[in-house]
């Protein structure tokens, strides 16, 4: 995000007059509300905010946000957003994509927007299925997913969005899920990060992949299955009775029991969002033997792409007069005729005859 | 006559009847035009030699046209037939509009260069060969069983064969270069000889070498020594050999400042000028591809003109980023060649649907697929005019020459901004790489077309992002403008409001509106660039075929044929008067470097019986080929018109450089083919 003067809005100000067309019960509704709840807290100005999306259920998102919005083509939103940001770095850009849009057809662009570190918030709605095309398995579907194209169960190895993002060079990686009360908090952290901020949001597709995240997302027993990370805090879950420690022999995480709240004695790690090594461990930590790592997994800013582009342009332009006439007559030239008009002037194009008075603007 | 290559018995220079009668009085040492071809190994620096010779020729005040031809491989194996790189220049004291049909002089730096280019040389022409490279090994690589310099096979030409390699090594000895570095000065030695031959000053090349090797003065000195030695050799050899000095008079040009320019440079400068005339910053998204990359290279150095260049991860990202930039209020530009344009196609549809300005430059090359990366073709016309899903019209403009590309680029920017539409600008590999003298225009002579942005609601309390103006264009609304928040996208939108709307009458109305906007673009009336506005035959061309068509029509007219040349810049929409103009001719012949694509468009739009004359050998048309095709309309034999031009052994690229012996003939002809050979 950018430093902006806080702008007073309410949730209502971010709602459009358009009828929302997601299926009843879709997790997208919850995410939409979370975003509309977050933006007023950020003091965001709707006129400076741009939602850019690709194709898919999630990508209808911009139509429901009372800001600027661009619903683009399948997989290409990161490239379009990059152009928008380079042309006007003052805009606050939210990218909305899904597991198919962002990791399948658009995997290349997602990789490069992260690698370049273009300053924007990237929300990847992961529902592990293609919804808008009626339920085919997606690059994040678990092995064995039965779908119209995999009637006997899929055999593709699923991609892990957070691991992909970190591997691509992301400097901010977070996780949340649609109905989580903590989602606005995660989004605010993403917004505070200067650079490409990647947020994987588990989202429930009630029609084609219903409750696929219930194993960790359902409220009952959530405490035992969710590890909410906080910078500077020990990695504890299950009401503080369990934690994540490092098996120093095997160099891998392990779940340890915490007796009487003495997590230090149990060797529980303290979360440091700037520790890239630990971040790699967290994004790869398999759910099942481990709880699902949620919240801000990694946050360590680096200079942004658009700043570098602007800086280079400023440097290479320094002290140079953008004189088009001079540019055209660059190189080795020759003159024909004694009275040839000198086309080299300092006039801007299209503004009057040689030696004319300064044009009024 | 035949023994002197420079009397130009069959020179492809423009000449009318009056001039033709003068010809006999033209002294051999003062010809109207000369064609020189430099050929050598890819590593011999032939393109550099040609480029510098071009510059000196331009400085001497000659008109000129060039044809660079190089392999797609960066460094093909040394000495091989397919590794030959060639550069042809046609220059003269009259207007030159093609790179020339057959060379008068061939500089062959090795046996492979001789073999692949010999067939092109005019009878009696001069061969300059470096015997130092005619070793057993190099002869074998060029598939010579005997040394052609020694077996009498070159008798119909004049041969000046000597050890250029040794001469060069000798000349640069004082500079302590290794043998390899010393031999790399060979091209400068050869250039020196050529400068002497055509009475050119060495000063500008000295300056250029000093600048080029600023950090390595010993290399600058060695190259200058080689250049001077080649020049001195010319003076000495004149006493004994076939070599003699000729002087080509300066051409009579309009007064003004001139420079040489390639199409890639002209497009880049035209885009900069166009963005300035629109009062917009320019955003150029590109991805490396031959022959389009040089536009990105040029623009990357022009940041002070408000230019942002972005080398994207792929062709799709390049156009998408440009669309994003246009959305944000810059003039988005992207550029590629056929395969890359194919990848950009879906995004073009998005720009059409969201009605954002965008310029797409297509430097065409031989296709399909990877095709002929470094050779020229005009076969992307269907792709430009028709090649998208849905009813997706966009304007198409074609540049006819390197210099013309400047004006076309400005025109593309104007239409994009005024009509809120993507525009495709077609050039080709020939235009992109070839150089011609260009009268430097005064930017102030162009009319500005400042872009306007909507700053407040345009319908009382409502914002209508798709409300159209008199030209059918919607307002340009920059994100960041207070109070004008709205959503756009590739999905069909309601008239005026732009909300999602798939309803039947709405899609009908929006499809019609998009088409009407493009159809209604103000395009200048089509002129006839040579000849009458009605008559027996109109030769209708587009793009880089301008030069050969123009010369062929000029010659045919000089012989009394009732033929006119019409060259179309606005391919889509077509000029409003074009149909009536074509119907004023008994015959319409459309020469193009494809299988007849523009012919189809003309037939489709006007129901005229346009006949194709096609050539897809990766070579430009020769004037003689077009003259022959025109003559068929005047030979009284019905059904003799049009046809297909075969690959030509005289021209670049030469057949052997691509492993064929020039004997291939089409084995399969389309049953739809309207002409039988």
The ipTM (two decimal places) reads: 0.93
Indicate the number of domains in chain B: 4
The answer to whether position B463 is within a domain reads yes
Residue B337 CB: number of other CB atoms within 10 A? 27
- Region of poorest pLDDT, from A313-322, B240-249, B652-661: B652-661
| pLDDT classification of B16: cutoffs 50, 70, 90 | very low
The answer on B436 and B456 residing in a single domain is no
The answer on B410 and B265 residing in a single domain is yes
For chain A, domains (ranges, CATH) are 11-233+272-307 (3.40.50.970), 235-270 (no CATH)
CATH number assigned to the domain comprising residue B537: 3.40.50.920
Tell which phi-psi region holds residue B533, choosing left (phi > 0), alpha (psi between -120 and 50) or beta: alpha
Tokens standing for residue B203: 């000063």
The answer on B488 and B441 residing in a single domain is no
The answer on B619 and B492 residing in a single domain is no
CA distance B207 to B583: 55
Give, in order, the Cα–Cα distances in Å from A136 to each of A99, A100, A129, B150: 12, 10, 6, 73
Is residue B605 scored above 70 in pLDDT? yes
For the residues of B221-263, what is the DSSP string, one character each? Answer: HHHHHHHHHHHHHHHHHTTTSS-----PPPP---SEEEEEEEH
- Region of poorest pLDDT, from A238-252, B83-97, B538-552: B83-97
The answer to whether position B247 is within a domain reads no
Give per-residue pLDDT as tens, B251-268. Answer: 777 888 888 899 999 999
- Residue B413: phi and psi, rounded to 5, are -65, -40
Range of the domain at B604: 528-632
Is residue A3 scored above 60 in pLDDT? no
Asked if A67 reaches chain B (Cβ–Cβ under 8 Å), the answer is yes
The answer to whether position B505 is within a domain reads yes
Chain B residues lying within 8 Å of A350, measured CB to CB: 277, 443-444, 446-449
The answer on B339 and B376 residing in a single domain is yes
Cis peptide before B514 (omega within 30 of 0): no
The answer on B71 and B52 residing in a single domain is yes
| pLDDT classification of B108: cutoffs 50, 70, 90 | very high
Asked if A360 reaches chain B (Cβ–Cβ under 8 Å), the answer is no
Q: Are A290 and A235 in contact (CB under 8 A)?
A: no
Is residue B284 scored above 70 in pLDDT? yes
The answer on B233 and B95 residing in a single domain is yes
Q: Are B570 and B524 in contact (CB under 8 A)?
A: yes
CA distance B485 to A190: 23
Q: Among the three residues B205, B239, B273, which one is the final residue of a domain in this structure? A: B239
Give per-residue pLDDT as tens, B451-471. Answer: 999 999 999 999 999 999 999
Asked if B116 reaches chain A (Cβ–Cβ under 8 Å), the answer is no
Asked if A336 reaches chain B (Cβ–Cβ under 8 Å), the answer is yes
The answer on B611 and B576 residing in a single domain is yes
| pLDDT classification of A343: cutoffs 50, 70, 90 | very low
pLDDT of amino acid A6: 85
The answer to whether position B654 is within a domain reads no
- Listed by number, the residues of chain A in 16-45 with a beta carbon closer than 8 Å to a beta carbon of chain B are 16, 18
Strands (E), B101-184: 105-108, 126-130, 158-162
Nearest Cα of chain A lies from the Cα of B350 at a distance, in angstroms, of 7
The answer to whether position B435 is within a domain reads yes
In percent, the amount of chain B with pLDDT more than 70 equals 92
CATH number assigned to the domain comprising residue B124: 3.40.920.10
Do A48 and B324 make contact, defined as CB atoms within 8 angstroms?
no
- Region of poorest pLDDT, from B340-349, B509-518, B649-658: B649-658
The answer on B570 and B476 residing in a single domain is no
The answer to whether position B401 is within a domain reads yes
Asked if A288 reaches chain B (Cβ–Cβ under 8 Å), the answer is no
The answer on B343 and B306 residing in a single domain is yes
Among all chains, which residue has been given the structure tokens 């696929």? A212
Q: Among the three residues B427, B445, B463, which one is the final residue of a domain in this structure? A: B445
The answer to whether position B626 is within a domain reads yes
Which helix (H) or strand (E) segment is A217 a member of? helix A214-217
Q: Among the three residues B522, B555, B578, which one is the final residue of a domain in this structure? A: B522
The answer to whether position B485 is within a domain reads yes
The answer on B345 and B478 residing in a single domain is no
- Residue B358: phi and psi, rounded to 5, are -165, 140
- Listed by number, the residues of chain B in 567-626 with a beta carbon closer than 8 Å to a beta carbon of chain A are none
Name the β-bridge partners of A256.
Answer: A243
Do A341 and B256 make contact, defined as CB atoms within 8 angstroms?
yes
The answer on B603 and B541 residing in a single domain is yes
């Amino acid at each position: 995000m950018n430093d902006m003067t806080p702008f007073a809005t309410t949730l209502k100000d971010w709602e459009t007059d358009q009828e929302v067309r997601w299926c009843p019960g879709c997790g997208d509704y919850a995410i939409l509300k979370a975003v509309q709840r977050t933006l007023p807290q950020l003091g965001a100005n709707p006129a400076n905010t741009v939602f850019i999306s690709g194709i898919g259920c999630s990508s209808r998102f911009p139509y429901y946000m009372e800001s600027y919005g661009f619903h683009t083509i399948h997989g290409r939103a990161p490239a379009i957003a990059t152009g928008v940001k380079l042309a006007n770095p003052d805009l606050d850009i939210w990218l909305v994509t899904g597991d198919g849009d962002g990791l399948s057809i658009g995997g290349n662009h997602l990789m490069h927007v992260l690698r370049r570190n273009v300053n924007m918030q990237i929300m990847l709605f992961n529902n592990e299925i293609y919804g808008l095309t009626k339920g085919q398995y997606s690059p994040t579907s678990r092995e064995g997913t039965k779908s119209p194209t995999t009637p006997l169960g899929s055999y593709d190895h699923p991609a892990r969005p957070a691991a992909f993002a970190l591997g691509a060079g992301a400097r901010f990686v977070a996780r949340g899920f649609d109905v989580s009360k903590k989602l606005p908090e995660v989004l605010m952290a993403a917004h505070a990060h200067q650079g490409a901020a990647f947020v994987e949001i588990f989202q429930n597709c009630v029609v084609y992949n219903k409750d696929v995240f219930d194993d960790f997302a359902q409220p009952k027993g959530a405490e035992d299955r969710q590890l909410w990370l906080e910078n500077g805090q020990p990695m504890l879950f299950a009401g503080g009775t369990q934690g994540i420690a490092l098996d120093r022999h095997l160099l891998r995480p392990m779940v340890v029991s915490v007796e009487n709240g003495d997590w230090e004695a149990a060797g529980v790690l303290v979360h440091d969002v700037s520790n890239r090594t630990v971040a790699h461990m967290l994004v790869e930590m398999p759910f099942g033997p481990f709880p699902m790592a949620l919240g801000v997994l990694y946050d360590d800013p680096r200079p942004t792409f658009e700043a570098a582009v602007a800086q280079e342009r400023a440097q290479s332009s320094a002290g140079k007069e953008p004189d088009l006439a001079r540019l055209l007559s660059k190189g080795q030239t020759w003159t024909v005729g004694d009275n040839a008009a000198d086309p080299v002037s300092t006039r801007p194009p299209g503004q009057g005859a040689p030696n004319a008075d300064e044009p009024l603007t | 006559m035949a023994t002197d290559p420079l009397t130009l018995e069959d020179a492809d220079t423009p000449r009318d009847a009056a001039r033709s009668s003068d010809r006999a009085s033209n002294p051999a040492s003062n010809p109207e035009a000369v064609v020189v071809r430099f050929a050598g190994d890819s590593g011999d620096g032939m393109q550099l030699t040609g480029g510098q010779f071009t510059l000196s020729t331009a400085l001497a005040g000659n008109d000129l046209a060039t044809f660079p031809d190089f392999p797609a491989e960066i460094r093909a194996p040394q000495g091989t037939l397919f590794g030959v790189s060639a550069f042809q220049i046609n220059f003269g004291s009259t207007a030159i509009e093609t790179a020339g049909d057959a060379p008068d002089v061939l500089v062959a730096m090795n046996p492979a260069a001789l073999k692949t280019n010999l067939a092109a040389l005019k009878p009696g022409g001069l061969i300059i060969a470096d015997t130092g490279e005619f070793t057993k090994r190099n002869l074998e690589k060029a598939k010579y069983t005997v040394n052609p310099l020694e077996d009498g096979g070159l008798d119909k030409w004049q041969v000046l064969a000597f050890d250029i390699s040794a001469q060069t090594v000798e000349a640069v000895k004082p500079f302590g270069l290794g043998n390899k570095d010393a031999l790399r000065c060979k091209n400068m030695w050869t250039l020196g000889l050529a400068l002497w031959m055509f009475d050119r000053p060495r000063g500008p090349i000295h300056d250029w070498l000093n600048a080029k090797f600023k950090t390595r003065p010993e290399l600058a000195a060695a190259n200058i020594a080689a250049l001077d030695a080649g020049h001195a050799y010319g003076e000495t050899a004149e006493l004994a050999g076939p070599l003699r000095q000729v002087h080509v008079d300066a051409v009579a040009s309009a007064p003004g400042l001139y420079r040489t320019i390639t199409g890639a440079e002209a497009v880049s400068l035209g885009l900069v000028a166009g963005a300035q005339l629109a009062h917009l910053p320019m955003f150029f998204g590109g991805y490396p591809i031959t022959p389009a990359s040089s536009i990105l290279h040029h623009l990357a150095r022009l940041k002070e003109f408000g230019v942002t260049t972005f080398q994207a991860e792929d062709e799709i990202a390049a156009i998408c980023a440009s669309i994003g930039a246009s959305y944000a209020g810059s003039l988005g530009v992207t550029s590629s060649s056929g395969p890359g344009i194919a990848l950009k196609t879906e995004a073009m549809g998005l720009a059409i649907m969201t009605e954002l300005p965008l310029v797409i430059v297509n430097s065409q090359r031989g296709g399909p697929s990877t095709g002929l990366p470094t050779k020229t073709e005009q076969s992307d016309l269907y792709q430009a005019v028709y090649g998208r899903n849905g009813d997706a019209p966009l304007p198409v403009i074609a540049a006819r020459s390197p210099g013309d590309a400047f004006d076309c680029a400005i025109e593309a920017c104007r239409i994009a901004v005024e009509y809120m539409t993507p525009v495709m600008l077609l050039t080709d590999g020939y235009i992109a790489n070839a150089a011609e003298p260009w009268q430097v225009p005064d930017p102030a002579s162009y009319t500005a077309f400042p872009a306007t942005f909507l700053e407040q609601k345009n319908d009382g309390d409502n914002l209508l992002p798709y409300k159209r103006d008199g030209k059918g264009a919607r307002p340009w609304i920059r994100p960041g403008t207070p109070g004008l928040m709205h959503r756009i996208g590739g999905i069909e939108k309601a008239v005026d409001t732009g909300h999602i709307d798939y309803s039947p009458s709405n899609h009908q109305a929006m499809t019609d509106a998009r088409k009407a906007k493009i159809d209604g673009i103000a395009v200048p009336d089509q002129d006839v660039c040579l000849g009458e506005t009605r008559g027996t035959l109109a030769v209708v061309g587009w793009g880089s075929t301008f030069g050969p068509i123009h010369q062929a029509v000029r010659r045919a007219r000089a012989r009394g044929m009732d033929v006119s040349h019409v060259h179309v810049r606005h391919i889509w929409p077509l000029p409003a008067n074009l149909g009536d103009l074509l119907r004023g001719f008994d015959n319409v012949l459309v020469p193009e470097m494809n299988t007849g694509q523009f012919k189809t468009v003309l037939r489709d739009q006007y129901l005229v019986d346009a006949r194709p004359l096609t050539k897809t050998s990766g070579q430009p048309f020769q004037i003689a080929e077009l003259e022959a095709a025109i003559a068929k309309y005047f030979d009284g034999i019905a059904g003799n018109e049009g046809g297909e031009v075969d690959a030509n052994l005289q021209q670049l690229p030469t057949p052997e450089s691509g492993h064929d012996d020039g004997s291939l003939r089409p084995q399969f002809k389309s049953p739809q083919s309207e002409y039988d050979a």
